[in-house]
């Protein structure tokens, strides 16, 4: 069976979106679980208080630089250009483009990192104005160290774009795993010897591991550091990539500005508010990392290729089918996470200095965020639908409108709702963003694809409602006799209630004969365990 799994992953990941998404999801699950282990270590050591507020505030500055120039904009711009060159069999020009983009991005990030190191103390006064002076100073000290990480992550992201273009998802998906390993090493081994700055050096070490893993894989794919035939700004493909990056960069900037505003407002609330919101975001991001991002990532090079060769019908078909698959998984998971939010938070964070008050606040914020999980999950795909068409302006305008709503809601409600106002504004913004993206993009859908999507959405809604009822009552029934004062009792309640809900959802969707359910059965179960002998014999006879 293990041999079958290995063959399925390594062979199929290059040939189908579902398989590619499966590879990314498997490693995404591992990375997210490791991320929760990281958070549990931090929570148990420090609780939701000043120390982690300092850490997460310091993290925001270098993360802003990286997200601004790289995360959203680079992949959206570089992959379509590089994929087009690969599709045309122009490998020499493709590698020239990759090297030019690599040099340009690393140079720009390095300049910004140096500026960040110099001006970190001054910037902290704008990012966390509610912090006392000693917390600002400590945040600036950590931020200066962490500014080394965007350099490694930027270089790694260019290499990751190469891997995605070749649909080599395994090593690409492993890199975040090593990033979390580095942070855990920092928390467990560095901090006892060098103090709080050990957390910052753990982030830097993790970013180096992220880069090293992608470098090995990119070299195996054919990438080499080479002498540039011309300066990057004279390479038409590099210039095209940078031009495509610009609007998406502004989109990323608006998202990051939103996070900076969240940090700003959270700094004015009680100590630990920033940590609580971050912990809640990290839990709900498991769904994004396992469902939303992997499918969007796996579909993106295919969408870019179909649009590049002018195959509009195939482009629409891939986009519509991938959207339905994301909804199929994300919607029930959103509900299960909502119903079991208290159990999840208690199991993940309920140890050491993370007390009952921290737990209650975190799971209440998590519940507010879970309402929009389905929307957050489809945004990466819908946005990449525009990027594949080399249209980066439309998502930019939509994000700007979304963030205006976000800011207005936070300012209006924070005095009444506190940290819950930030979570509520975040969720409303996500639903608005996803809705407008879909409304604008669905004009590209053929009528039959649009009807398929609506029918699938209705079936998912019915199945999810049944899932909610079963999960809710199984949680309450188990809670009446399990010893919930112990972690193992809460874990048992979480696992069994989650399984009841998940199996119920699969059962209902099987009754509906949904294509997505059949995909699970055929693409995973049959591939791993093999086809029934009778079926194989019938196929041989048919041949």
State pLDDT tens for residues 3-39. 443 344 444 444 555 566 667 667 777 888 888 888 8
pLDDT averaged over every residue in the chain: 83
Task: Note the pTM of the prediction, 2 decimals.
Answer: 0.78
**Which residue numbers in the chain have pLDDT < 70?**
1-22, 24-25, 71-73, 75-76, 89-90, 226-233, 247-248, 250-255, 444-448, 523-543
- pLDDT tens digits for range 368-410: 999 999 999 999 899 888 888 878 788 888 888 988 899 899 9
Kindly state whether residue 25 falls inside one of the protein's structural domains: yes
Res 231: pLDDT: 56
Kindly state whether residue 408 falls inside one of the protein's structural domains: no
Kindly state whether residue 309 falls inside one of the protein's structural domains: no
Res 367: pLDDT: 93
Res 250: pLDDT: 64
Cα 104-381-517 angle, rounded to 5 deg: 140
* Cα-based distances in Å from 168 to 61, 89, 220: 31, 18, 10
Q: Are 164 and 75 in contact (CB under 8 A)?
A: yes
Res 504: pLDDT: 95
- The SS3 call for residue 231 is coil
Name the H helices within 195-292. 197-221, 236-267, 273-287
Kindly state whether residue 61 falls inside one of the protein's structural domains: yes
CA distance 417 to 40: 27
Res 413: pLDDT: 92
Backbone angles phi, psi at 385, to 5 degrees: -60, -40
- pLDDT tens digits for range 462-513: 999 999 999 999 999 998 888 888 888 999 999 999 999 999 999 999 898 8
Residues 6+ apart with CB under 8 A from 124: 57, 61, 131, 136, 139, 140, 143
CA distance 155 to 513: 45
Q: Are 276 and 47 in contact (CB under 8 A)?
A: no
Q: Are 266 and 422 in contact (CB under 8 A)?
A: yes
Q: Domain limits at 149?
A: 21-250
Res 233: pLDDT: 62
- Which of 156, 426, 377 lies closest to 278, judged by CA? 426
- pLDDT tens digits for range 445-466: 666 677 788 888 899 999 999 9
Kindly state whether residue 455 falls inside one of the protein's structural domains: no
Res 528: pLDDT: 56
Cα 484-489-491 angle, rounded to 5 deg: 115
Kindly state whether residue 94 falls inside one of the protein's structural domains: yes
Res 220: pLDDT: 85
- Which of 369, 391, 507, 501 lies closest to 440, judged by CA? 391
Res 317: pLDDT: 84
Res 110: pLDDT: 93
Q: Are 112 and 150 in contact (CB under 8 A)?
A: yes
* Cα-based distances in Å from 494 to 210, 212, 437: 32, 37, 34
Res 485: pLDDT: 83
Res 237: pLDDT: 80
Kindly state whether residue 343 falls inside one of the protein's structural domains: no
CA distance 344 to 337: 8
Domain total of the chain: 1
H/E element, 464: helix 447-479
Kindly state whether residue 405 falls inside one of the protein's structural domains: no
Handedness of CA 432, 275, 139, 67 (dihedral sign): negative
Tokens linked to 195: 């103090």
């Amino acid at each position: 069976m293990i041999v079958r799994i290995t063959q399925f992953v390594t062979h199929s990941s290059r040939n189908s979106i579902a398989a590619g998404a499966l590879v990314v999801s498997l490693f995404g699950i591992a990375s997210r679980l490791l991320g929760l282990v990281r958070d549990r270590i931090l929570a148990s050591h420090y609780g939701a208080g000043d120390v982690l507020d300092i850490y997460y505030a310091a993290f925001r500055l270098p993360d802003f630089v990286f997200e601004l120039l790289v995360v959203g904009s680079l992949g959206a711009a570089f992959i379509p250009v590089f994929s087009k060159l690969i599709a045309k069999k122009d490998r020499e020009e493709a590698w020239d483009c990759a090297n030019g983009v690599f040099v340009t991005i690393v140079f720009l990030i390095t300049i910004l990192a140096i500026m960040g190191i110099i001006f970190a103390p001054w910037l902290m006064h704008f990012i966390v104005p509610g912090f006392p002076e000693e917390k600002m100073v400590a945040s600036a000290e950590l931020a200066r160290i962490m500014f080394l990480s965007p350099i490694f992550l930027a270089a790694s992201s260019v290499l990751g774009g190469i891997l995605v273009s070749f649909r080599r998802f395994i090593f690409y998906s492993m890199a975040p795993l090593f990033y979390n390993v580095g942070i855990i090493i920092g928390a467990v081994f560095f901090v006892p010897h060098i103090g709080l700055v050990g957390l910052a050096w753990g982030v830097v070490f993790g970013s180096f591991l992220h880069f090293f893993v992608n470098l090995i894989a990119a070299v195996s794919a054919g990438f080499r550091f080479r002498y540039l035939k011309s300066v990057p700004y004279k390479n038409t493909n590099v210039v095209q990539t940078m031009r495509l990056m610009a609007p998406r960069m502004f989109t990323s900037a608006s998202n990051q500005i939103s996070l900076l505003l969240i940090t700003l407002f959270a700094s004015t609330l009680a100590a630990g508010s920033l940590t609580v919101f971050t912990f809640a975001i990290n839990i709900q991001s498991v769904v994004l990392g396992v469902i939303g991002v992997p499918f969007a990532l796996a579909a993106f090079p295919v969408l870019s290729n179909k649009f590049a060769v002018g195959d509009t019908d195939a482009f629409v078909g891939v986009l519509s089918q991938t959207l339905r698959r994301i909804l199929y998984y994300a919607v029930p998971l959103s509900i299960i996470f909502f119903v079991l939010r208290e159990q999840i938070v208690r199991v993940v964070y309920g140890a050491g200095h993370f007390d009952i008050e921290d737990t209650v606040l975190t799971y209440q914020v998590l519940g507010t965020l879970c309402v929009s999980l389905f929307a957050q999950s489809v945004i990466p795909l819908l946005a990449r639908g525009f990027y594949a068409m080399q249209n980066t302006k439309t998502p930019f305008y939509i994000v700007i409108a979304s963030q205006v709503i976000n800011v207005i809601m936070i300012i209006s409600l924070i005095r009444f709702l506190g940290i819950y106002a930030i979570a509520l504004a975040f969720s409303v913004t996500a639903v608005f963003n996803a809705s407008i993206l879909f409304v604008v993009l669905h004009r590209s859908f053929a009528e039959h694809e649009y009807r398929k999507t609506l029918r699938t959405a209705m079936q998912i809604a019915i199945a999810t409602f049944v899932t909610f009822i079963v999960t809710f009552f199984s949680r309450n029934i188990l809670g009446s006799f399990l010893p919930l004062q112990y972690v193992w009792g809460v874990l048992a309640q979480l696992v069994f209630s989650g399984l009841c809900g998940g199996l119920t959802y699969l059962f209902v969707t099987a009754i509906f004969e949904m294509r997505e359910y059949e995909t699970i059965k055929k693409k995973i179960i049959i591939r791993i365990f093999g086809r029934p002998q009778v079926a194989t014999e019938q196929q041989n006879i048919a041949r």
